Amino acid sequence: MLWNTMILALREIRRNVLRSVLTILGIVIGVAAVIIMVTIGGGATVQVRQQIAGMGSNLLMVTPGKRLGPGQSTDNVPFKEADSRAIARDVPAVAAVAPVSSQSIQAIFGNQNWTTQVSGSNNQYLQVTNRSIRSGRQFTDSELRSGAAVCIVGETVIRKLFGGQEALGEKIRLQKLSCEVIGLLAAKGQSTMGTDQDDIVVIPLSTFQRRIAGNQDVGFIQVSVEEGVATEKVQNDIVRLLRERRHLSSSDDDNFNVMDMKEIAQMLTGTTRMLTALLSAVAAVSLLVGGIGIMNIMLVSVTERTREIGIRLAVGALESEVLMQFLVEAVVLSSFGGLAGIVLALTTSVWLAGILRVPFVFNGGIVMVAFLFSAAVGVIFGYFPALKAARLDPIEALRHE
Amino acid sequence: MNMTAVYRTDKQALIELRGVTKVYGSGQAAMHALRGVDLRIDEGEFVAVMGPSGSGKSTCMNILGCLDTSTAGTYWFKGVEVNRLTRNQRTKLRRFYLGFVFQGFNLLNRTSALENVELPLIYRGASAHERRHRALEALRTVGLEGWESHTPGELSGGQQQRVAIARAIVTGPTVLFADEPTGNLDSARSHEILELLNGLNREQGVTIVMVTHEQDMAAHAKRIVRFLDGLVESDKPNIRNA
């Protein structure tokens, strides 16, 4: 009997292609929308979290000028290398200090060229930015002191200039400076702000100042604070030291800025989290709309189906047989729609994650919730009108307009 | 089928109604469709039920066909008191003993003639092979050989009614109820349908109860029962056919 009912239900689905497709479509869209949005949102959050973890611990960024933001600085007195040394020497609980000057420069190797960010700094740069050397070596003290023509190169630059070739020991040209590749940086990927952190060439600060910038300025200073020390205290110490070194009276505002990178990162996490919540809300609405779509199709077909139920009852179908048929129909349509939605959502999510460069994070919970909700809507609105109709006297059901 | 109803001891009629009433609504708004109908139909009869609209003839037939229930009175089918049967038992009565032909055909849309005719057999639990075999035979009986795969939308009114008749007779019912089977057909088609019903009655001994308001359709029957205001007004054999 159950087998017969299954056959009847499947026949009925096949016979009413349009109705079946519309029902399934509602479920597919509802399920897919929710899963995609939550998956992508979750991926973005995970990515931000990873980047914060990879950003280097307790990083402070010291920049000249009054405030970061539009219309930046009025009296932009640049730092000198001595400022960086003073911080390293006089501020307690500082783990590493890297003075950095950088500029966008075209790097040339053979007939390949690639415009990249060239930074002049010291070995502590690697420590504060939480990077490591994949192969080759750091700068030596004498190279740093004498301003030698050597460089450490990021993954992207290697790929663009050398293709698959061995880069160590080769010489690349930065403007008029021809420098030897002595180290390759381990890849780090995209930053929180979406820039490529591997599109970089690092040379000694003195080399940068003499051969590229042509002055003794330092663009900014990155400071990493020792583990377990409150960054606020170090921040205050740096401000005090720099005010003194820059001869600011107590009435003057700071003409430099000490920022905690963690704060920026946390702000970004908050933003992504809010975005995920927003996307989820949108997704919930699509699920609801999908549900209403299913409901409409089911209710619209009730008249026709009530007559069908009347016919079946008249020719000798038991109420339970009719109901079983409708239940099977609703379950088959809903599960089919749900599964199609899940497949669509997962393929789209993987594809979108690739495009948006966020990790694909599978969230089984939301898949279940979306599927169960849609299936429940499908089954309830497929089954209950049928239940009402099957309880009528056959003649009532047949007369239904 | 386990019928725990009361069996009568005197000579059994196929169908017997005694004092059957049907009231729609209640109180002031109550509408008395049947006011106490007594009727007896024996096996093998061909009864035409006539009467003006609202006389209760269709209501009476729906009660006879177990498509509807009476308000009061007693209905015996083969000696079984139908009023006392449960809903499912009445369904089984329809399944095994009764066949229906409606004025509006009531076929399943988008469903082939063959599948429409197979429908009652599915609920009887017949095998796919048996279903097909019997449905084809029924379609042949009503002269629709070659039209098996057409859906109702692709068939004319007369052909649709033939499909409906095939569906009604495919189970080999004891009684065939026809509610204005020719109401939607022209007179040539109508006479063909009546010929068909007549043939079933004569050759296969199917008892036929047919509601109609057309005199020349009723003329095919062996007996004519007239309803008026919810009561049997007259009940006489059709002299021409009796």
pLDDT digits (tens, 9 = 90+) for B207-242: 999 999 889 899 999 999 999 999 999 998 987 765
Best of A8, A315, A321 to mutate (most B CBs within 10 Å, chain B): A315
Domain assignment present for residue A63? The answer is no
Domains identified in chain A, total number: 2
Domain range for A286 = 2-51+267-399
b/e B220-241 (16+ beta carbons within 10 angstroms → b): bbbbbbbbeebebeeeeebeee
Contact A209, A120 (CB under 8 A): yes
Assess whether pLDDT exceeds 60 at residue B201.
yes
Are both A204 and A283 inside the same structural domain?
no
- Could B111 and A15 be called an inter-chain contact, meaning their C-beta atoms sit closer than 8 Å? yes
Structural domain ending residue among the three candidates A226, A257, A291:
A226
- Could A315 and B87 be called an inter-chain contact, meaning their C-beta atoms sit closer than 8 Å? no
Are both A43 and A101 inside the same structural domain?
no
Going from N- to C-terminal start, the domains of chain B cover 43-58+93-237
CATH classification (class only), B43-58+93-237: alpha beta
Could you tell me if A294 lies within 8 Å of chain B, comparing CB atoms? no
Which of A15, A316, A393 has its CB closest to that of B110? A15
Assess whether pLDDT exceeds 60 at residue B189.
yes
Residues of chain A found within 8 Å of residue B62, distances taken between Cβ atoms: 395
d(CA A157, CA A147): 22
Domain assignment present for residue A239? The answer is no
Average pLDDT, chain A: 85
Q: What pLDDT was estimated at residue B228?
A: 94
- Could B107 and A316 be called an inter-chain contact, meaning their C-beta atoms sit closer than 8 Å? no
Assess whether pLDDT exceeds 60 at residue A394.
yes
Q: What pLDDT was estimated at residue B82?
A: 94
Assess whether pLDDT exceeds 90 at residue A202.
yes
The pairing of beta strand B31-41 with beta strand B15-24: antiparallel
pLDDT average, residue stretch B123-150: 92
Could you tell me if B100 lies within 8 Å of chain A, comparing CB atoms? yes
Diameter of chain A measured on Cα atoms: 103
- The end-to-end CA distance of chain B, in Å, is 35
Q: What pLDDT was estimated at residue B35?
A: 94
Q: What pLDDT was estimated at residue A250?
A: 82
Domain assignment present for residue A360? The answer is yes
- How many CB pairs below 8 Å do chains A and B form together? 65
Domain assignment present for residue A84? The answer is no
Are both A202 and A102 inside the same structural domain?
yes
Assess whether pLDDT exceeds 80 at residue B45.
yes
Q: What pLDDT was estimated at residue B178?
A: 94
Could you tell me if B124 lies within 8 Å of chain A, comparing CB atoms? yes
- Could B91 and A318 be called an inter-chain contact, meaning their C-beta atoms sit closer than 8 Å? yes
d(CA A5, CA A327): 10
CA atoms within 13 A on the CB side of A232: 0
Q: Which of A307, A276, A305, A321 is nearest to A381 (CA)?
A: A305
pLDDT average, residue stretch B137-148: 92
Are both A132 and A210 inside the same structural domain?
yes
Tokens of B222: 């062996």
> Which range, A207-216, A292-301, A370-379, is most confident?
A207-216
Q: What pLDDT was estimated at residue A363?
A: 84
Are both A33 and A112 inside the same structural domain?
no
How many beta carbons lie within 10 A of that of residue B145, not counting itself? 10
Residues of chain B found within 8 Å of residue A1, distances taken between Cβ atoms: 125
pLDDT category of residue A120 using cuts at 50, 70 and 90: very high
- Could B107 and A311 be called an inter-chain contact, meaning their C-beta atoms sit closer than 8 Å? yes
pLDDT category of residue A390 using cuts at 50, 70 and 90: confident
Rg (C-alpha) for chain A, rounded Å, is: 33
Q: Which positions 31-50 of B are in contact with A (Cβ < 8 Å)?
A: none
Are both A102 and A218 inside the same structural domain?
yes
Assess whether pLDDT exceeds 60 at residue A8.
yes
Task: Identify the weakest region by mean pLDDT among A16-30, B54-68, B96-110.
Answer: A16-30
Structural domain ending residue among the three candidates A226, A253, A285:
A226
- Could B125 and A1 be called an inter-chain contact, meaning their C-beta atoms sit closer than 8 Å? yes
- Could B106 and A318 be called an inter-chain contact, meaning their C-beta atoms sit closer than 8 Å? no
pLDDT average, residue stretch A34-51: 83
| Residue scoring higher pLDDT (B151 or B28) | B151
Exposed, middle or buried by CB within 10 Å (0-12, 13-18, 19+), for A88?
middle
Structural domain ending residue among the three candidates A226, A259, A292:
A226
Q: What pLDDT was estimated at residue B1?
A: 43
Could you tell me if B119 lies within 8 Å of chain A, comparing CB atoms? yes
Are both A197 and A96 inside the same structural domain?
yes
Strand partners, A343: none
pLDDT average, residue stretch A192-212: 86
- What's the gap in Å between the CA of B115 and the closest CA on chain A? 10
pLDDT category of residue B156 using cuts at 50, 70 and 90: very high
Could you tell me if B68 lies within 8 Å of chain A, comparing CB atoms? yes
Contact A198, A213 (CB under 8 A): no
Are both A278 and A378 inside the same structural domain?
yes
pLDDT category of residue B9 using cuts at 50, 70 and 90: very low
Domain assignment present for residue A277? The answer is yes
Q: Could you give the dihedral angle defined by the CA atoms of residues A168, A174, A177 and A181, in that order, rounded to the nearest 10 degrees?
A: -10
What letter does residue B147 receive in the DSSP assignment?
-
**What is the ipTM score, two decimals?**
0.90
